[in-house]
Amino acid sequence: MRAFHGQMSDNQPIRRTLAEKQKQLRDLRETLATMKSHTAPALRESVQKRIRQLESEVNAAPALRAGEKRPAPGGTAPGDRPRSPRRRPERGI
């Protein structure tokens, strides 16, 4: 069976919200802390690498963390500009 565009099997990255990333970061830190001493070094390194990636993503999103909306360029919001009057559609007779 073929996948349609946008399906999860499309080999596209999963987009996560900031809260989901923070939860995953906590889980990975806990996993790293509970790893046994005889855990494979490659597994330990891969978890540490993912932790570093998530930390950089979380730190790079300060606007998302604060829940702020960025102002539009030019200092005005998109709805502040004057609107032109709407035209009525012509009716067929």
**Domain ranges across the chain:** 13-62
What are the per-10-residue average pLDDT scores of the chain (93 residues)? 63 82 95 94 96 93 58 55 67 66
CA dihedral 67, 71, 76, 80 (to 10 degrees): -30
CA–CA separation, 90 and 68 (whole Å): 43
Instruction: Specify the pLDDT at position 61.
Output: 77
If one counts every other C-beta atom within 10 angstroms of the C-beta of residue 25, the result is 17
CA–CA separation, 19 and 63 (whole Å): 13
Token representation of residue 73: 């360029």
CA–CA separation, 78 and 85 (whole Å): 17
This model's pTM is above 0.85: no
